[in-house]
Chain A
Amino acid sequence: MTATEAPPGAPAPKAEPLAVRTPPARKRLVPYWLLLPGLLWLLVFFAAPLVYQASTSIQTGSLEEGFKVTWHLATYWDALGAYWPQFVRSVSYAAVATVLCLLLGYPLAYLIAFKAGRWRNLVMILVIAPFFTSFLIRTLAWKTILADGGPVVGALNALHVLDVTNWLGLTEGHRVLATPLAVVCGLTYNFLPFMVLPLYTSLERIDPRLHEAAGDLYARPRTTFRRVTFPLSMPGVVAGTLLTFIPAAGDYINAELLGSTDQKMIGNVIQSQFLRVLDYPTAAALSFILMAAILTMVTLYIRKSGTEDLV
């Protein structure tokens, strides 16, 4: 863009004496200058790799002979055919973890927003505190917590909780590690703050007088929650579920560290295709399929929840 170019829609300065004075060109360009660093960043680190990956996904060849663009779209079909169970698993693990995050996070966010009083900041810090440690370390800690013969598994066995989860198909035998339960627990734990923070923000914005007004208008506390608080917190629910579901669906650390080969998610497949099998076209195609799947689900979800002020 050159400096003399006017932004679209800006009226060109006219010779008429009564015309509204247009700000000088430099001033009009300020928004564009402010956008520039971010745009450059996006271009170099998002748009360019995306185009590169798109081209990779339609290439054929091998590492020794080199890859060439041959418009081989069948890679997509083959990848989907071979790895659809991992796709289904990713979506269902992420969905269960999202629901668990919502069930755990909503009461927590509600407490911080309305009941914590002077403890509010402390509880907020406790929610954010895990971020001070690396994601990897925290997940490894879960490996220790859930280790076979550890106190957690011992307690769950003693309380016959594992019998229930076995029956549900979440665990197998007398262990938690290397089962779907462990992966879902890890996902839930790791993404809980992403649920709590937007929920808290939207709950905190609700005028407490609306609760009083509802009570004054014959709504019992439960009805007040159902008719006033929850609907008003919907932007937070939508934002929180998206911020949890999207990264959880593409996550591979939890499945890698807490699961076995039977709990591999699509993220694990993409990772191993890129780094171990070195089948770049399949890895790229899988990435695009995952992206398309998430975009479709998110679009449907947002349209369904009718929250326009989210995006």
Chain B
Amino acid sequence: MTRTAPPHRSGGDVRLEGISKTYGSFTAVHPLDLTVPAGSFFALLGASGCGKTTTLRMIAGLEDPTTGTVALSGQDVTALPPYKRQVNTVFQNYALFPHLDIHENVAFGLRRRGIKSVKKPVEEMLDLVQLGPMARRRPQQLSGGQQQRVAVARALINKPEVLLLDEPLGALDLKLRRQMQLELKRIQTEVGITFVHVTHDQEEAMTMADTVAVMNGGRVEQLGAPADLYENPASTFVANFLGTSNLIEAEVVTADGEELLLKAGDAALRLPARRCSAPARPGGKVLAGVRPEKVTLAHADDAGSLPGGRNLLPARIKDAGFIGVSTQYVVTVPGLGELAVYEQNIERDGRLIPGADVVLHWSPAHTFGLDAAQDIGAGADLDEEAA
């Protein structure tokens, strides 16, 4: 066998061109173009069955794409089997070899590439993931978090151009997951390898990744930096899947200049034209969105003293949930349905209890506009389902 070339010191880029995967009549991934820049931490985010794992497996070579090409660091690897690709994978349930101890698990890739002196690099790698003393144990003697770190070590020791992570934290409890997120981020910064991370946990994707691609139904819905996706969702799916959004059906009154004027029920709302991803013409419909934490509640008695120039909606509190740092309200807006409002617990107004009449107000700059032709509830409950 021709030994694979010595791996690069730093990460390579991944370029997917027109890549798709169909199983019989089912299309798991629609033709997709995606570029993951070298050295970045890239997350593929979506609910189960959205095609994110299939995409990852096509990069690894574990799945043959139906159409399209996969290029690593500029080299077309579409036809190469997994064992000839400079990528390594951290599998969902780690897939550690049960018949080998931790040391041998980590050494596996090095030995297959014909490297004789594995002792030192393995020890260094185990130290990096803080498992030095566990070297002679078997995988099944380790806790979930330790196994996860072995899986990372076993992949990283090969210094791949790209590290693929398939829901690597899915089997861990919440606290350990948060800890491992920071740990993985630290390792990625340290080694500078390109990470492609598949997850259904939007918080995980936003905490760790530089760039997030939100996938739905085998397509990338939106791609961007986490904050950008959160502030400017381009579809109802992204708006609902990443955090919570209030989406209000509204009619466009005027659509000229920098700002759109909308009519939602009896209320008038303003929306910056550049934050509206839907074509807007007077008389047409759009969905006006605002994040719950951007909205402030004022008691109806104080409505007169509110600053001018804000979007206002009269409502009534239906429910209030105190969760420490904030209080989460569900309010009913006549004619528009229920909206969510998160208030920081700084100066709590004792009058804001269920049944109270209130006015919601927020800066027009925090409003975003979406195409009204979409399903308003898309992606709303998927996160909980998948978790």
Contacts and interface: CB of A to CB of B under 8 A. Distances in A.
B99 interface: yes
Contacts of B62: 212, 215-216
B1 A216 contact: no
B97 A210 contact: yes
Contact of A218 (B60, B98, B109): B109
Contact of B82 (A209, A210, A216): A216
A217 B88 contact: yes
Provide the main secondary structure of the chain B interface.
loop
Nearest to A218: B112
A228 B108 CA distance: 10
A220 B96 CA distance: 17
Interface in A190-218: 207, 209-210, 212-218
A290 B31 CA distance: 68
Interface string B75-110: 000000111000111011101111100000000110
Contact of B91 (A213, A220, A227, A232): A213
A215 B91 contact: no
Contact of A232 (B88, B98, B112): B98
B158 interface: yes
A216 B60 contact: yes
B154 interface: yes
A220 B95 contact: no
A244 to B, nearest CB: 23
A213 B164 CA distance: 12
A209 B93 contact: yes
B1 A220 contact: yes
A118 to B, nearest CB: 13
B360 to A, nearest CB: 50
A223 B114 CA distance: 12
A218 B87 CA distance: 10
A215 B88 CA distance: 10
B140 interface: no
B186 to A, nearest CB: 23
B256 to A, nearest CB: 56
A13 interface: no
Nearest to A222: B1
Q: Choose among A209, A218, A231 the residue with the greatest number of B CB atoms under 10 Å from its CB.
A: A218
B177 interface: no
Nearest to B93: A209
Nearest to B1: A220
Contacts of A257: none
Given A232-B98, A232-B99, A217 B91 contact: no
A212 B92 CA distance: 12
A219 interface: yes
Given A212-B62, A212-B95, A232-B98, A217 B154 contact: yes
A231 to B, nearest CB: 5
Contact of B95 (A213, A218, A223): A213
Given A212-B91, A213-B89, A213-B91, A218 B99 contact: no
A217 B81 contact: no
Contacts of B92: 209
Contact of B112 (A210, A212, A219): A219
Contacts of B88: 216-217
B83 A210 contact: no
B105 to A, nearest CB: 9
Nearest 5 A/B pairs, CB to CB = A217-B109, A213-B95, A218-B112, A209-B95, A215-B82
12 contacts: A209-B95, A210-B95, A212-B62, A215-B81, A215-B82, A216-B83, A216-B88, A217-B83, A217-B109, A217-B158, A219-B108, A227-B108
Given A219-B112, A228-B99, 6 more contacts: A207-B93, A212-B62, A213-B89, A213-B96, A216-B87, A217-B108
